[in-house]
Amino acid sequence: MEWSTLQTEYEGLPLYLRKPNYKNIYEYKTKYPELICITHEFDNVKDNGLPTSEYNKSLIDFDNEVVNIFQEKNNGIIFLVETYGGARNYWFFGENSESISSLFNDLKNKYSKNKLELDSQNHSDWTFLEEYPVPLYKKI
């Protein structure tokens, strides 16, 4: 999967974004009505809320696992990785909250030292993409 990155600011703090280059992300809209966010609160941050360089490097395997959490069962897609204010948010659209709960619990057990939170809600209209403060995907 190819990714695009953007470094910008939001409310005076750096905002780092990473998103997959979907040709048409909206083709998944009817299949994945659930908006899902896995938040990882960092242990080591700079004054501006970004992770320290060494700490960030130590997260490579974890990051890869979170990004691909739905890959095996094909029950969701990642659409954004957001680093801001001392945390990294992994944003997905998925089939339902039950499918992510089990996967999230496995992830949380494997990486028990990481401060992780899960949030999911039905969001079948996908307005999150349109309301996000930075343009993410063009509606086709």
- Structural domains of the chain, ranges and CATH numbers in brackets: 3-131 (3.30.70)
Tens of pLDDT, residue by residue over 53-79, are 999 999 999 999 999 998 888 899 999
Tens of pLDDT, residue by residue over 10-51, are 999 999 999 999 999 999 999 999 999 999 999 999 999 999
pLDDT computed for residue 111 by the predictor: 96
pLDDT computed for residue 98 by the predictor: 78
Tens of pLDDT, residue by residue over 85-106, are 999 999 999 998 777 888 999 9
Averaged pLDDT score across all residues of the chain: 94
Q: Residue 23 is which amino acid?
A: K
Q: Which residues sit opposite 16 in a β-bridge?
A: 7, 83
